[in-house]
Amino acid sequence: MRIFSHRAFLAIVAVIFLIAHARALPRTLEDIDSINLALGVESFDVAAHRPHPPGYPVFIAMAKISTAAVGALAPSWDRDRRAAVGLAIWGLVAGTVAVFAVAELLIAIGVAPLLASLAAVLFVASPLFWFSSVRPLTDVPGFVAALVVQWSLMRGLRAIRANTDAGVVNRVPRQLIWGAALAGVIVGLRSQTMWLTGPILIWCAAEFLMHRRLRAAAILAVAAAVGVLIWAIPLLIESGGVASYWRSVRFQGGQDLSGIELLATTPTARLLKVALRRTFMEPWLLTGLANAIAGFAIIGIVRLIRRERSTLWMLCLLFVPYLLFHLAFHETVTLRYGLPVLVPVATLAVIGFAILGTRAAAVLSMAAAIVAVVPVQPRLEEYSAGGWPVARAFQEMLRSLPAAGDRPELRMHHQVWHGVRRLIEWYRPSWDVGPQPFPGDREWLDAVRAWNAGSVRPVWFLTDLTRNDMTLIDRRARELGGRYELPERLRALVGGYRLDGLNWWRIAPPGWMLGTGWSLTPEIAGMTEIDRTGPHHRPAEGFLRRTERPLRLMIGGRYVAPPGSPPGVISVDLEQRRLADWKVSAAAPWFLNWIDLPSGIPQGAGQYSPLSIRVTAEPAGAAPAVVLEQFDAAPADELMDAFAEGWFELEENPQTGRLWRWMSDRATIVVNGVSGDLRLTLSGESPLRYFDHAPDVVVRTGEAELGRFSPSADFTQTIDVPARTLAAGQNRITIETNLTVVPARVGNSQDTRRLGLRIFQAELSRR
């Protein structure tokens, strides 16, 4: 096949790439890096991280042009979309020409044109490159620019050797001068390009020095220096001088090396194994494809060692320095940092395919490219249509802001703060939320203090998806404005996000709120244990909004003291007035108490009345350990429910924040404040995970059967609960299952509970 045919084939691939990606340009900015770049386009200031150091001045200059062009061509687009497309368009351009850049570079180092073209196609089709090419970042433009520079330098290197063989020793090839200058320029596009262009540039200079051509080596160095100075001088002037700029870079360098696991700072076999997997396997998305590519790449290495060592050497010179830098100094969970490594991997794999013959190499390469692209294109379009979830959350919050009156106060978990602090800066022209100090790790307490101090402003709370401390605030006052989460199928291609999901809660001043000392969820229980604020250490805090309406309180929990501990007395006080007390002991560890306040809470100091719950020993001594696991308070005519006998403690998956309770063979829900027909929603895990057949599940109130089902998969059941039937059953709903298991009897578990169903949701609502 002639070279022209190869280039025509590459042109077809480039057109396909362009069409596939032009329809998938992003609608939002995404992680911190893209926001910093967009801020830099609007107002360049490296010290203020607009963008983050080292500054990317060449890319910012390019993005200013493209963003202005996007604004002129699409004036109806909002600021977010203009900024995102203005940044991403350069990735689209670079991705389209990448297939030519890779093929020409490989041909320049001695790879046969057909194999070079096939390797270029396989690289471009790799899921990580295909997906990354329209992200509003510098990775793809910077890398493809580095490939072009490498190609120019390789052509110059070949010209050096040809001139030397011909006895021409004073000529410096034009390709070499341009390549050296561009190598300096593109450092201002993306700083990591120096690890791709620097080694070959140094090698070219060494070729001159070996032949004592000092003038030629100096010309090369000057060309590279001029390329750097083109952007460095304006950058230093804009940054206030060398000292000021260096302070910014040094601070960013310290940030980049702190709080993360790097092989350079944590050289362990475990971390090396993880880094290698993320670099060589995960970018291919499909395990089978990754294994095949890796296997044939090893065959390709062996073949080059036997037949074409010079080609293998040039591949190593071009890409191994970057690979070593990447493994040592990059947090490899950010997969896009490993993009350059895909070129030698794809090349070696195609050379490995060729051991079966040229036609087989073509068939296998194209088959691998198709297998790679088919699953990633729908994900690319989904990512483009949905945008970055956190940016989408801010867009929806902005649209929900009241047109007049007090705007809500924005609060957030500390995990969220790390991920959105730059996004807050981006949206400041539209919504100035003021300074956002680091919120610590007991974030709900600040909202509690504000409402206690008299604030009547609603709060919008951004919470980490894995946390559930919002249960400490009256559920009637909080509304989930939205759950924003990057799907797992997309997360596999964009690893390394600082934040890829959150919950947005809208909270009005609540009817009740809790401070320290509670254990409503495992997360909250853990904080209470760490802080030693449980009711046996000091009174647990609660706050009830003052009202003249009759109120009802519900308090539930467990006695968890070790064997031999004395019984305890739980005392409940409201503004130092005793409301109730009761005994707890190991003989009856579970408790559930209802307290009525017929006169409500009279007016007094502040809009909230302090509630305290404490545990004392009986007789006197060290108070036994008690955990407070349920709480609610509402007007007596409002619906309230609680978990009673037959339910076990709440459990949690700390990676996802998902909560559940196990029930035994018979579990009871107690209901109060019933004034109409209700609906019970039950959802749970498939019982076939631990039983060999589906159980019979019956829901009753008293003797009346409300529903019956036999779940053989994860289930959600909705069951009507007539008010009259519930009253006849003394306001108690029971859920019964005919299958149970004791884990300690069937495996190595120490769990002696009799478990029936794992329930994710058991919620009552009015019909």
Q: What digits encode the pLDDT tens for the residues 541-557?
A: 999 999 999 999 999 99
| Rg, C-alpha atoms of the chain | 33
Q: Residues near 121 by Cβ (< 8 Å), separated by ≥ 6?
A: 10, 13, 99, 365, 366, 369
Residue 119: half-sphere exposure toward Cβ, Cα within 13 Å: 31
Q: Residues near 674 by Cβ (< 8 Å), separated by ≥ 6?
A: 639, 723, 726, 727, 731
598 and 705 share a domain? Answer: no
Q: What is the pLDDT of residues 39-68, one digit of tens each?
A: 999 999 988 889 988 889 999 999 999 999
DSSP type of residue 626: E
Q: What average pLDDT does the chain have?
A: 93
pLDDT of residue 1: 43
Domain boundary among 589, 616, 638: 638
466 in any annotated domain:
yes
Residue 624: half-sphere exposure toward Cβ, Cα within 13 Å: 22
pLDDT of residue 36: 95
744 in any annotated domain:
yes
Given a cut of 80, is residue 259 above it in pLDDT?
Answer: no
Sheet of 659-663: strand order equals 647-652, 659-663, 757-766, 678-684, 715-721
Given a cut of 70, is residue 469 above it in pLDDT?
Answer: yes
650 in any annotated domain:
yes
Average pLDDT for residues 559-581, to the nearest whole number?
A: 94
Exposed e or buried b for every residue in 402-416, given b needs 16+ CB within 10 A?
eeeeeebbbbbbebb
| Cβ atoms 595, 636 nearer than 8 A | no
615 and 651 share a domain? Answer: no
Complete DSSP assignment for 346-414? HHHHHHHHGGG-HHHHHHHHHHHHHHHHHHHHHHHHHHHHH--HHHHHHHHHHHHS-SSSPPPEEEE-H
- The rounded percent of the chain whose pLDDT value lies above 70 is 97
Given a cut of 70, is residue 163 above it in pLDDT?
Answer: no
Size of the chain in residues: 767
Going from the C-alpha of 609 to that of each of 472, 532, 544, the distances in angstroms are: 16, 24, 5
- Number of domains, the chain: 4
168 and 315 share a domain? Answer: yes
| Cβ atoms 650, 759 nearer than 8 A | no
612 and 634 share a domain? Answer: yes
455 φ/ψ angles, rounded to the nearest 5 degrees: -65, 140
Q: What is the pLDDT of residues 290-318, one digit of tens each?
A: 999 999 999 999 999 999 999 999 999 99
Which H or E element spans position 707? strand 704-709
**411 or 170: which leads in pLDDT:** 411
pLDDT of residue 224: 95
257 in any annotated domain:
no
Tokens of 378: 């729908």
CATH code of the domain in which 530 resides: 2.60.120
DSSP type of residue 694: P
pLDDT of residue 159: 80
405 and 306 share a domain? Answer: no
Angle between helices 174-186 and 194-210 (to 10 degrees): 150
pLDDT of residue 724: 94
Given a cut of 90, is residue 403 above it in pLDDT?
Answer: no
252 in any annotated domain:
no
Residue 5's pLDDT band (boundaries 50, 70, 90)? Answer: confident
Tokens of 486: 């990057």
Q: What is the separation of C-alpha 199 from the centre of its chain, rounded to a whole number of angstroms?
A: 35
618 and 685 share a domain? Answer: no
Question: Is the link from the previous residue into 51 a cis peptide, with omega within 30 of 0?
Answer: yes
Domain with 496 in it = 389-507
pLDDT of residue 660: 97
Average pLDDT for residues 167-175, to the nearest whole number?
A: 73
Residue 447's pLDDT band (boundaries 50, 70, 90)? Answer: very high
413 in any annotated domain:
yes
| Cβ atoms 263, 271 nearer than 8 A | yes
Which H or E element spans position 278? helix 269-280
Which H or E element spans position 165? helix 139-165
Residue 562's SS3 state is: coil
Given a cut of 60, is residue 558 above it in pLDDT?
Answer: yes
Domain boundary among 362, 386, 410: 386
Average pLDDT for residues 447-465, to the nearest whole number?
A: 94
134 and 18 share a domain? Answer: yes
Q: Residues near 363 by Cβ (< 8 Å), separated by ≥ 6?
A: none
pLDDT of residue 719: 97
pLDDT of residue 158: 84
Q: What is the pLDDT of residues 688-744, one digit of tens each?
A: 999 999 999 999 999 999 999 999 999 999 999 999 999 999 999 999 999 999 999
Q: What is the pLDDT of residues 340-350, one digit of tens each?
A: 999 999 999 99
Which H or E element spans position 162? helix 139-165
83 and 172 share a domain? Answer: yes
487 and 548 share a domain? Answer: no
Given a cut of 70, is residue 133 above it in pLDDT?
Answer: yes
Average pLDDT for residues 599-611, to the nearest whole number?
A: 92
Residue 203's pLDDT band (boundaries 50, 70, 90)? Answer: very high
Given a cut of 60, is residue 4 above it in pLDDT?
Answer: no
Given a cut of 90, is residue 173 above it in pLDDT?
Answer: no
Residue 257's pLDDT band (boundaries 50, 70, 90)? Answer: low
- Please identify which residue in the block is written with the tokens 């095949």: 292
pLDDT of residue 405: 73
158 and 291 share a domain? Answer: yes
- Side chain identity at 397, as an amino acid letter? M
Complete DSSP assignment for 184-231? HHHTTT-GGGHHHHHHHHHHHHHHHHHTT-HHHHHHHHHHHHHHHHHH
255 in any annotated domain:
no
Domain boundary among 386, 407, 423: 386
- Choose the weakest-confidence range: 247-251, 427-431, 528-532, 760-764: 247-251
Tokens of 320: 């191994």
Q: Tell me which residue of 451, 610, 470, 629 sits closest to 544, measured CA to CA.
A: 610
Complete DSSP assignment for 445-474? HHHHHHHHTT----EEEEE-TT--GGGGB-
Which residues share a beta bridge with 763?
A: 681
Given a cut of 70, is residue 363 above it in pLDDT?
Answer: yes
Neighbouring C-beta atoms of residue 269, cutoff 10 Å: 7
Which H or E element spans position 309? helix 309-329
Complete DSSP assignment for 316-341? HHHHHHHHHHHHHHS-TTSGGGGGGG
Q: Tell me which residue of 732, 514, 559 sits closest to 641, measured CA to CA.
A: 732
- The rounded percent of the chain whose pLDDT value lies above 90 is 80
Residue 166's pLDDT band (boundaries 50, 70, 90)? Answer: low
332 and 359 share a domain? Answer: yes
248 in any annotated domain:
no
Residue 64's SS3 state is: helix
**396 or 497: which leads in pLDDT:** 396
Q: Tell me which residue of 718, 644, 641, 719 sits closest to 673, measured CA to CA.
A: 641
Going from the C-alpha of 341 to that of each of 112, 274, 279, 284, 437, the distances in angstroms are: 20, 16, 7, 12, 40
Burial class from Cβ neighbours inside 10 Å (0-12, 13-18, 19+) for residue 469 reads: buried
The rounded distance, in Å, linking the Cα atoms of 312 and 303 is 10
pLDDT of residue 249: 75
Average pLDDT for residues 233-239, to the nearest whole number?
A: 89
Residue 687's pLDDT band (boundaries 50, 70, 90)? Answer: very high
| Cβ atoms 673, 762 nearer than 8 A | no
30 and 129 share a domain? Answer: yes
